[in-house]
Amino acid sequence: MSTCVIRFALICLLSVLWIDLLPATEPLSIGTRRELFVDDALVDHLSGEAEIRLQHPVPREVVIRFDQPWEGSSSGYHTIIQDGDIYRLYYRGTHIEVSQGRINTGSHKPYYCYAESKDGIHWTRPELGIVEFQGSKQNNIILEGLGTHNFAPFKDENPECKPEARFKALAGLQNEGGLHAFQSADGIHWKRMQEKAVITKGAFDSQNLAFWDEDHKTYRTYFRVFTGGVTNSKTWKPEGIRAIQTATSDDFLNWSDGIDLVYADSPDEELYTNQVKPYLRAPHIRIGFPARYVERGWSESMRALPDPERRQLRASSVERYGTAISEGLLMASRDGVHFKRWNEAFLRPGIERTGTWQYGHQFIAEHLVETASDLPGAPNELSLYAAEDYWHGKGGALRRYSLRMDGFTSVHASLKGGELITQPFVIAGKTLSVNFATSAAGSIWVELQTADGKPIEGFSLADSVELFGDTLDRKVTWKQGADLSALAGKPVRLRFKLKDADLYSFQFQK
């Protein structure tokens, strides 16, 4: 026997022995929190025709057109905050003049603007009297000067937050020193928390976000970098691709060094914005809607897209302005650093029409909110918002898209059927609720298993009461009832048998 073969056999034997010596992984404790299938963290096995399927938002109405003189055709970097019964919209007002061989962004300096809504659909511009534009303060401008390229506010959920800093924001560019920290008591009147920038290493030429990460008890930010080159206050020579880093802070002023996001099974791609925030119904999961930026170049398909004359006009200045396309992606993380990024588009450019299939289209606002359904008697839904009609005309627009609660992805099975078996986890509560939809002929059955995969007496598949319908909250029952109190604190697995059905989320409830 050769030395190489003996060495390889010894390595294999030592590997097995080492694995045997490793401590067993403790089952994840999910308690009573809601769990989604935006990643595979809870999935052990899919069989038959079951798969995790990416869902897609449904286009709705244009909710606001940015047609005021200070808003302009390049209004961007939108932020929406649901604050009690008020929806707050923040957005940059800038205007682009496109002519042959020239792009002019200097018709007026950028401003940050504010609008309000009671339903997330109908928006008003309050006359705030804060910033003067062309001799008048009768406008909805809240900020001018430093930070107005990418001002990104959030409502601070830190229980120790001071009243004067109930709202915070990061904003700034490298030529302004980096990202500056802002605070506000009412979300309208803002001031910097200190003169110096709080984050200086990065590119920042995008929407750079922050929030209170309740799961980790820290402030967290996501900001733009390039993978190569130099981007600092003295030298602007970016190379590589647009990428995202994250950092944390205890006080919003002193931040850790940025670290690169890590993606599982995703190619290197240009990610323009990031739009990461804890999901409102499961805040331990951070949901992001990065904008994918793709330069396609000229081709017959490019020339066949909407507004070919305007596309050629933009390209006469810089080719990518006419031949780049953008769309919205979906990504999710449980630790804020490692993300499952769905490589297929979450929000495609959609059916071809004026103002679409261009660079700047489908940049999703930060972040989604809960709104009423327009179907009488239907439960609330999620609304997200994305830009269109960028570049030309009097002003751009923001279109609303709707999505089922928890409906980013689903475990889907065809009529032929399929099964999902979860990883073991420790539960709390007394009942199990599922968010699901079936066809009239479809169904779901549920089994509870021990951590080693054995059906628990009374909760087997044979004991399961068939589920069908379409609801956000259905209690799972078995022949003996629905009470799971005896299993609280113990590691269990879930086995779902699906037929022509979609399972969006589940939750053990008190």
Picking from 193, 210, 195, 293, the residue whose alpha carbon sits closest to that of residue 258 is: 210
What's the pLDDT at 20? 41
Lookup result for tokens 């970098």: 225
CA distance 387 to 365: 8
Task: Give phi and psi for 5, each to the nearest 5.
Answer: -65, -45
Per DSSP, the residues of 172-197 read: --GGGTSBEEEEESSSSS-EESSSS-
Q: What is the dihedral angle through the alpha carbons of 116, 122, 127, 132, rounded to the nearest 10 degrees?
A: 90
Sorted by where each starts, the structural domains of the chain and their CATH numbers stand as 28-54+410-509 (2.60.120), 58-404 (2.115.10.20)
Spatial contact of 198 and 181, defined as CB atoms under 8 Å apart: yes
CA distance 100 to 415: 56
CA distance 247 to 255: 6
Q: pLDDT under 50 in the chain at which residues?
A: 1-24
Cα-atom radius of gyration of the chain, to the nearest Å? 25
Quickly count helices (H) and strands (E) in the chain.
Answer: 4, 34
Picking from 291, 310, 286, 288, the residue whose alpha carbon sits closest to that of residue 386 is: 291
Q: DSSP E strands: which ranges in 274-366?
A: 277-279, 282-288, 291-295, 324-333, 338-347
SS3 labels along 268-296: CCEECCCCCEEECCEEEEEEECCEEEEEC
What's the pLDDT at 166? 98
Q: pTM for the full model? A: 0.92
Picking from 366, 356, 357, the residue whose alpha carbon sits closest to that of residue 289 is: 366
Burial class of residue 219 (count of CB atoms within 10 Å of its CB; 0-12, 13-18, 19+): buried
Dig out the tokens for 347 from the structure: 């929000």
- What are the CA-CA distances from residue 84 to residues 118, 154, 347, 430 (Å)? 10, 14, 27, 30
